Structure 1
């Protein structure tokens, strides 16, 4: 009887060991698709876990936890590098929390997870974005970024057919939207990454296969070296008009641009800001947007035309170091638009006197409709002015209360590009 009990215990232990996954936990890695595998793990007293996707490689991983557990003091370590687990503030979960993807420049087969604050079983998602040819691994090797810095032309960008090579294209019925607000995000991924194609590919798989979205959420993504990637696939429509999934569930009238990296405390590179400004300038010129203005949105009754994600809902995105630059970005974009639009010439609108010591009279050509008049200081600050209808095709702009100085007056006629002219107030 004793021999039978000993033999039974030995067989039970052996069976348990043989059922363990290569990660050393009592669970198997289950393949969901060629790009995604998932493993459910049981917490241990140490809060440390050896992760392995088995024979497959992974290029990023995501952790989902349950209940009131947190990602505080949690990280992933591999090849001497440590990556903190960052909460995805907008993952749509009924219960628990989800991390943003921890992305690696090169494929991995193992990693160490530090997760000390979990009390219930949790899941690890292994993403395998595959590899592009080595010649295309670094974004800067492919093409220059901006055709003509300081212009209003559309900047060059990497098409989906290039960065998505080898991955399945999305298949769904697209929606499109006119644009009133340009929303800036950050991906909160590691600033040490250099393979920007790989970053975009992993975000794409994360959005579509982990979050279950139809496509990548952003219209565009901007890499730290200034390379612009086309994001959400527009199908037969336009890249900047396809409706995304990036602004707190209220995406109509918005275009989303994601700055790749974590800018909570790290300054974005000059190349990335220049690329962002080039993209926003082109879009504002194309759609005749008032980049110094604001307008109502379901999430914000007075949302800036160029706004940060955090201005719509509770989030730290796009990080403090990008958010605090948005006012300068608005002014830079406005200055470039002025140069593109030749602000010293107004061909259809006239106003007088100039210089003026009081209010300014405005005359319009017949059968035109004046939508807005704005006065902007030479350093880009917009000043509100009153507008009084003086009769058919005539208005009086109330400017007598403004400080003396040089201003730019912007006229917006219906269905026309803005027109500009300098004015001196005495």
Structure 2
């Protein structure tokens, strides 16, 4: 038996079993306000790091403000939608009859599945109703390791999907292993959160850049107290071969500032406070910028940045978002603690866009290595591409979904 009939048979038997085991259908299905076309978004229930759904919805609404939405699957925050009245959230339909009921009540124009999930009844039901399906941000690697029976079901599902938008070539290869034709697949890049560059006073930046010209500057952003000691020791090492180097420590709880000053004194480093409104002089080693309001200024001035809260746990402020320095051209050093930004650190790491360190010695070496402008520039370029590329990916996915819905592709 050829692979195609086998996958079709496996899928039919799977759906028959689902129909036999089906629970009662919903008594009624709420209808969202408005009369614009309805996009069904199914968020994978398996994803550890949900994609930037709010920005993807915004990209679709920018093109068609009249869209309405049906949401199933993993939790999507309702603030992702500017107008909650045009959104309906339903449990995942897991049998053919429930899918038919949903389609008849809501008449979705397209189904977009986000992430690594192939909901069998949903895909089969909407395609039987003539509704196109787009799979986005799907890596699919786990599906290629399934048993022959489950694999046959998955191949049957893949054959029904109109377009598969994958984040990288590894995911494209997995899709082809499941039987997708090359024409079905498009590599868009991963969906990553995009954040606007932090603001800065341009006059102040120009003035400080003039004062600090020809000095090597690096930044420790929101370090914990144990990390403060680590960055000061790394700075000591840097001063041995670059005696005019300046370390900026920014983003500290007020109660830690006196401790940081004492630690500088203990290590023989001359420090000044930003709040004293003195410009750094040649014999100043450390500038302590207590609050976080000028972080955009420091990212712009420092070609190298250590991201606090990623190497050593301790008292300090919340870790900063890694795309903040990335978007402003600062080469990033970070430790193995991802905190709330694991997805972003993974993206930067896979693109060789950040320097991962494990301990104090590695921090010292990284700071020394990145005094070389070419090394810092390469890291910063890669990070900038990741941090700013997310917007283009979101627009591409939104365009593919709406073009297919409108019958243009």
Q: Give the TM-score range, shorter chain.
A: under 0.3
> What TM-score, normalized to structure 1?
0.21
Counting helix residues as a fraction of each chain, which structure ranks higher?
2
> What TM-score, normalized to structure 2?
0.22
Q: Which has the higher contact order (CA 8 A, sep 6+)?
A: 2
